[in-house]
């Protein structure tokens, strides 16, 4: 069985964004148990020139949604910029609703679609496959990992399985 673009992306986003949502639950529990203002966690960053926790989650969801919308020839949905733990969980849920609402038939077969992606740094030209697998997915993992690392650094008790989310049965 060939691995299609939808099979290479959608299950990963479901698993890892589900894990990220659970990680945010653990962050909320940590704040309650330790009497920490959640706003403190949301504004944390690993280095002065890096994004905050809030921005990391927002970027992770933006890249996940883009990896589905752009190959399908769709506009990216408007996702609110959230600034609370509950709001970030809602953004993740809205992202997953979008991702799971796009039929595989709109993504698969579009691997060669030409895409022009404008960033703060420059304009990139990709095929849909290269964009999804070599640009969006690495960015997605970077931002999810960084969000996890910020929370670990803050003292939230997390393990690798929290990051991994629900691992599907074989």
pLDDT digits over 98-129, tens only?
Answer: 999 999 999 999 999 999 999 889 999 999 99
Q: Is residue 91 part of a domain?
A: yes
CA angle centred on 161, ends 64 and 157, rounded to 5°? 105
CA angle centred on 133, ends 70 and 108, rounded to 5°? 55
Residue 58 sits in which domain range? 5-104+116-164
Number of domains observed in the structure of the chain: 1
Model confidence at 170, pLDDT cuts 50, 70, 90, reads low
**What mean pLDDT comes out for the span 135-141?**
98
Query: Taking a C-beta distance cutoff of 8 angstroms, is the pair 5, 70 a contact?
Result: no
Q: Is residue 109 part of a domain?
A: no
For the beta carbon of residue 49, count every other beta carbon within 10 angstroms.
Answer: 6
Q: Is residue 89 part of a domain?
A: yes
Q: Is residue 95 part of a domain?
A: yes
State the residue for tokens 């990963």: 12
Q: What is the pTM of this model?
A: 0.95
Q: Is residue 27 part of a domain?
A: yes
Q: Is residue 29 part of a domain?
A: yes
**What mean pLDDT comes out for the span 39-47?**
98
Q: Is residue 55 part of a domain?
A: yes
**What mean pLDDT comes out for the span 14-27?**
98
| pLDDT tens string 143-153 | 999 999 999 99
Mean pLDDT of the chain, nearest integer: 96
**What mean pLDDT comes out for the span 31-57?**
98
Q: Is residue 110 part of a domain?
A: no
**What mean pLDDT comes out for the span 151-159?**
98
| pLDDT tens string 49-100 | 999 999 999 999 999 999 999 999 999 999 988 789 999 999 999 999 999 9
At 143, which CATH number? 1.20.120.450
Q: What pLDDT, on the 0 to 100 scale, is given for residue 67? A: 98
State the residue for tokens 């496959």: 129
Query: Taking a C-beta distance cutoff of 8 angstroms, is the pair 145, 16 a contact?
Result: no
């Amino acid at each position: 069985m060939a691995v299609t673009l939808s099979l290479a992306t959608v299950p990963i986003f479901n698993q890892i964004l589900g894990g990220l949502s659970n990680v945010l639950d653990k962050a909320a529990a940590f704040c309650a148990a330790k009497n920490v203002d959640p706003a403190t966690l949301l504004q944390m960053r690993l280095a002065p020139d890096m994004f905050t926790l809030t921005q990391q989650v927002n970027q992770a969801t933006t890249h996940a949604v883009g990896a589905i919308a752009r190959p399908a020839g769709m506009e990216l949905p408007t996702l609110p910029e959230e600034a609370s733990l509950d709001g970030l969980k809602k953004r993740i849920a809205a992202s997953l609703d979008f991702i799971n609402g796009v039929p595989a038939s709109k993504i698969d077969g579009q691997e060669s679609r030409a895409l022009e992606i404008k960033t703060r740094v420059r304009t990139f030209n990709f095929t849909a496959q290269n964009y999804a697998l070599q640009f969006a997915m690495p960015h997605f993992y970077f931002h999810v990992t960084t969000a996890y690392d910020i929370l670990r650094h803050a003292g939230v008790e997390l393990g690798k399985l929290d990051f991994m989310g629900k691992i599907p049965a074989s």
